Amino acid sequence: MYITLFSSLSSTKVYAASPYNSGHDHGCDDAGISNPSEQYINQDEKGPNYHTDEFMDWFYAGFECS
């Protein structure tokens, strides 16, 4: 007698955006928001001190996209 057990394994994939993509996207988004208090970069724990220099370089580049 043989017993075969099958288990279903699910894999979770986590995709992290590169500092380039993330910074540029947030910069473009923020450029379209006229109220500075609503912009991503001005939210608690999301300002320049919480990001790499690379993120911030691309954030500023993205901010110029509008």
Domain ranges across the chain: 40-66
Say what the pLDDT of residue 14 is.
Answer: 46
Q: Tokens 């910074």 label which residue?
A: 23
Give the pLDDT band (50/70/90) at residue 32. very high
pLDDT tens-place string over residues 42-62: 999 999 999 999 999 999 999
Say what the pLDDT of residue 34 is.
Answer: 96
Say what the pLDDT of residue 17 is.
Answer: 78
Say what the pLDDT of residue 23 is.
Answer: 94
List Cα–Cα distances, 38 to 3, 32, 42, 43, 64, in angstroms.
60, 10, 7, 7, 18
